[in-house]
Structure 1
Amino acid sequence: MNDFFLANNRSIKIKVLGNDVEVKQLQIFNFDIWSPIASVIRDSLKQSDYSDLIGAGLVKDYGAHVFQLCSMCTDTEMESLLDLAESDPLEFSHLLKHVIEVNGAYFKEDVKPGPKIRKKKGGVEQTWFDSFQYLIAYGHRHEDILQMTYGAFVGYLKAAEKYQRSRGKFDSNIIRAAHHADKKGFLTFQDELSKH
């Protein structure tokens, strides 16, 4: 899914046995609820791409997780999902495929989601609050972050990190120019920066 799909919290409509089913993106506000369920499926998919055979294996091995995830990501009741899987396993596998594709930011992610936990000498570690604060420092509001899709959250974190690295390079170049330039050269450098 593209960046605008993620940022706008869009969903898709698919036909399941002739009925429209909305497949939604997972959001940050209930990450603690869906992550333990979805992580089991994500970890199982690490070895291969999704196929109907893989989908059948997921239902067999992790049925409770699969049905809970599909229930969270669709407007379909659990009982209807169970009936669908029993009456038409291939149709249910296609539904599961769409759930995984719509939430590809989570399921295709190389690293574990959330803050990178790094213990330092003082025992300080990074938490979800640190990730939120990082985005808040770049102008996001707490309430807005909670309403983000997981894909938008990860996208904004990556953009903020990219901006921070770029800004660090820019600042170090200015410091170096200031350190090595005479007064006239530095004033010329400042004038050039003002023009852009």
Structure 2
Amino acid sequence: MSQLPDIDSGPKVMGDDGQFHAVDEEVRFDQTPLEAWFALAFFWALGLTVFYQFFTRYVLNDSAAWTEEIARYLLISTVFTGAAIGVAKNNHIQVDFFYRFMPRWLSRPLGLLVDFLRTGFLVAATFLTWQMMDKLGSYKMTIVDLPMNMVYAVVMAGFAAMSLRSLWVLRLHLQRGYCVLERPGTEMSER
């Protein structure tokens, strides 16, 4: 029968005085990746656009027509720039159940295959987005008189950032000698 861990062995939150004592970790912006700042900027622009849309529709009773389209494109921009953060942290959706039961001689090559396939897919998506932008030419947005290639340029930049981050993750996995699929719970700590 296994012994349960001591409940008092963790950090002490309730003080002897009966008061709640919690200390937040120091906030460090120096480790925030560049993609996160772009995603944050797009997110704030999206929030302001949706607020303006709400204000004009329900307060002024005269809805701004351009906000729907711009909000959609800002959401796309937020997703594709933010996805690079997920690749860098290597925390996209993955199935690691089978890796827990596989022998190392099988899990290691499969983990590397996943890394190579992910990188190849992202590089191909970057290239295909470039080709699509070339075919679109001077195609304009529906309501706002701006080129659609502005939106696809952000998508392509997001795919390119994901490709670079995926290469970085692959290099880190090769240096470590294992990947996150082989040892779930490990973090991508080297920047």
TM-score range, shorter chain: 0.3 to 0.5
What is the TM-score normalised by the length of structure 2? 0.32
What is the TM-score normalised by the length of structure 1? 0.32
Higher helix proportion: 1
Higher strand proportion: 1
